[in-house]
Amino acid sequence: MELPLTPLEFARRARRLYPEREAVVDGDLRLTYRQFFDRCDRWSAALQALGVGPGDRVAYIAPNTHAQLESFYAVPQIGAVLVPVNYRLTPADFVYLIRHSGARVVCAHSDYLEAVDSIRAEIPDVQAFVALESPRAGWLDYEATLAAGPATFDRPEIRESDLLTINYTSGTTSRPKGVMITHRNAYMNAVGTLVHHPMGCGDRYLWTLPMFHANGWTFVWIVTAAGATHVCLRKVDPAAVFASIAREKVTMLCAAPTVLIGIACAPAELRAGTIGPLRILTAGAPPAAATIERVEGELGWTVTQVYGLTETAPFITICEPRSARRSRRARASSSSLPASWSCTTKAAARSPTTARPSARSWCAATR
């Protein structure tokens, strides 16, 4: 018997093994894995009641909230396709992405309801608008609809080649491009990441990276695969980051170099109580050696650089530390591999744009 490779399998496993373990923290809201997936199932049922079926697109415009995280399970488990939209874009950009993706349902956080209302006439194919927070006239209330819905839904057959998400690139050279990520793409990237950057059920992951960004580098599923805890962070600023780390005993986060700089340069009073073991994955640009040295030297955290593309689901390489003799400065440049590094290549996910087998390289120090 062959089982499809899909990150939904991580949900099934966590629900069975860790039902009473804390899954999600979002401000004062705390959910166990049982509660979290019960909510996902109810929202899946609600979407089906709205007429959403396999292959239909559901767009989300939201920061890192529990409702945004629920979308990565509730939407694909009915065979639909999630479209996580960059909430920092303009209303005109929202129009293009919603129309280009073919979204039938738009779910938006309260901060973006007005922006979406201003473009409704330009997105006539959208059949339902859902307010994730703060009920508003003309919008379905997410929490009320979820609570009123049945606890079960019609579960379709999922194939690993089925489309899971459409993730839009930044569009620096033209219009944003929609990258088509399959269930297999996401599953293979999640497992490959865990091989080189293991997590356990005792880990607590802080959402400093936007979930819309390449599916949060697939950590929307990786954290669940480990049975760890998602700690949502709606707005990233140093004060909120350090407060969350101290309060929730965070053990890991992902961050672009700009966020790392904010962490490294934060006032001493913010950093009090957060010195100790914490792991950071950074990508998006080469982090400065001085930033890494300050974060590791003054805070006692570990910084590891990775590289990838939205089109590769997303990770390709990881600057994996293998020797205490290797300087921290060397870790700041994985884009130009030094002589002491080697690359091994393995067949992994299928290319999301060509549906042909692709290769993923994982780089590791050999000295």
**Rounded Cα gap, residues 58 and 209, in angstroms:** 21
Residues 83, 199 within the same domain: no
Contact 303, 259 (CB under 8 A): no
Q: Of 166, 181, 196, which residue sits at a domain end? A: 181
Residues 352, 294 within the same domain: yes
pLDDT of residue 320: 79
pLDDT of residue 273: 79
3-class SS of residue 164? strand
Q: 329 pLDDT exceeds 90?
A: no
Residues 101, 233 within the same domain: no
Q: 258 pLDDT exceeds 50?
A: yes
Q: Which tens digits make up the pLDDT trace of 63-74? A: 999 999 999 999
Number of domains comprising the chain: 2
| Residue 364 pLDDT class (50, 70, 90 cuts) | very low
pLDDT of residue 323: 66
**% of residues, the chain, pLDDT over 90:** 80
Q: Which tens digits make up the pLDDT trace of 53-92? A: 999 999 999 999 999 999 999 999 999 999 999 999 999 9
Domain around 69: 17-181
Q: Of 159, 181, 203, which residue sits at a domain end? A: 181
Give the strand order in the sheet containing 128-131.
140-141, 128-131, 103-108, 57-61, 81-85, 163-168, 178-182
Q: Which tens digits make up the pLDDT trace of 111-145? A: 999 999 999 999 999 999 999 999 999 999 999 99
User: Do the domain assignments include residue 52?
Assistant: yes
pLDDT of residue 321: 75
The tokens describing 210, both together, are 């936007």
Please indicate whether residue 351 or residue 209 has the higher confidence score (pLDDT).
209
| Residue 349: its H or E element | strand 341-350
Range scoring the smallest mean pLDDT among 17-31, 242-256, 339-353: 339-353
Share the mean pLDDT of the chain. 89
pLDDT of residue 60: 98
Residues 216, 307 within the same domain: yes
Q: 3 pLDDT exceeds 80?
A: yes
Residues 170, 215 within the same domain: no
**Rounded Cα gap, residues 163 and 313, in angstroms:** 12
pLDDT of residue 171: 64
Least Cα distance to 209 among 243, 260, 169, 277 occurs for 260
Q: Residue 304: which CATH number?
A: 3.40.50.12780
Q: Of 153, 181, 209, which residue sits at a domain end? A: 181
Residues 170, 194 within the same domain: no
pLDDT of residue 350: 42
Backbone phi and psi for residue 335, each to the nearest 5 degrees, phi listed first: -75, -30
Q: Which tens digits make up the pLDDT trace of 146-199? A: 999 899 999 999 999 999 999 999 767 788 999 999 999 999 999 999 999 999
* Bridge partner residues of 77 (DSSP): none
Tell me how far the alpha carbon of residue 238 is from its chain's centroid: 20
Least Cα distance to 43 among 66, 23, 25 occurs for 66
* Bridge partner residues of 229 (DSSP): 204
**Rounded Cα gap, residues 142 and 50, in angstroms:** 13
Residues 90, 166 within the same domain: yes
